Amino acid sequence: MPKALRMRPVIGHDNRPWWDRIDEGELPIQRCCSCGTLRHPPRPMCWKCQSLESEYINASGKGIVYSYVVVHKPAVPGYEYPLAVGLIELEEGTRIVSNIVGINPEDIEIGMPVEVSIDAVDDEMNLPLFRPASR
């Protein structure tokens, strides 16, 4: 029986550039071409100036844990439990949801510094994952 895989994001016009850059090993942040506002998750219109033009910058990949949860149930095939999911506040100011890896879930603390690595979680999908910062 084939190994169960993590759920796939639905990819369309509005998020493809973001996922393409992940596959290239970068953690992108969408930036408004008109007023420079950064936004995540990516969306077609800038909430501040209503411009429809946007581009991507590369994040430094450094941030802190703003909040986090540890998932126990339901245990969905394709993931390992207990599963730590963090809300990471990036240095650039935007937040992103991702897994916190390389640490026991019980040792995670709000405010702790983390950094990204783009990892292949299976043969078909790369994800940005966060681990405690090496400092």
33 contributes a contact to another protein by CB under 8 A: no
Specify the 3-state DSSP secondary structure of 17.
helix
What are phi and psi for residue 19, nearest 5 degrees? -70, -35
3-state DSSP call for residue 90?
Answer: strand
C-alpha count within 13 angstroms, C-beta hemisphere, residue 85: 11
DSSP, collapsed to helix, strand or coil, labels residue 19 as helix
Which of 28, 31, 63, 98 touches another protein by CB under 8 A? 98
Smallest distance from the beta carbon of 1 to another protein, in angstroms? 20
Per CB under 8 A, 110 contacts another protein: yes
Q: How far is the CB of 78 from another protein (least distance, A)?
A: 8
Note whether 92 binds another protein by CB under 8 A.
no
x/- string (CB under 8 A) for another protein, residues 36-75? Answer: ----xx-xxxxxx-x-x-------------xxxxxxxxx-
* Greatest alpha-carbon span in the chain: 51
Omega prior to 82 cis, within 30 of 0: yes
What is the binding site for another protein (CB under 8 A)?
A: 6-15, 40-41, 43-48, 50, 52, 66-74, 76, 79, 82-83, 85, 87, 94-99, 105, 110, 121, 125, 127
